[in-house]
Amino acid sequence: MHTVIVAGRVVVREGRLLDLDLEELRRRAVEAATRLKQAAGQAPLQSY
């Protein structure tokens, strides 16, 4: 997609996501994966 507008705000321009904080996304993904693994009774994730 070239451009995507949501609620009057451009969120994708020229095929690239705008306002994306990759570090925050990664942190939240690791936290969610850790919670899921703990709920499943598995060892915590290793950090690389």
Q: How many CB atoms lie within 10 A of CB 13?
A: 13
Q: Could you tell me the pTM of the whole model?
A: 0.55
* Mean pLDDT computed over every residue of the chain: 87
Domain boundaries, the chain: 3-39
**What is the pLDDT, as a whole number, of residue 48?**
63
**What is the pLDDT, as a whole number, of residue 19?**
86
Distance, CA of 9 to CA of 29 (rounded, Å): 25
Give yes or no for residue 47 having a pLDDT over 80: no
Give yes or no for residue 11 having a pLDDT over 70: yes
Distance, CA of 18 to CA of 32 (rounded, Å): 23
Model pLDDT for residues 28-43, shown as the tens digit of each residue: 999 999 899 888 887 6
> Could you tell me the pLDDT band of residue 44, with boundaries at 50, 70 and 90?
low
Distance, CA of 23 to CA of 19 (rounded, Å): 12
Decide the pairing of beta strands 16-17 and 9-13: antiparallel
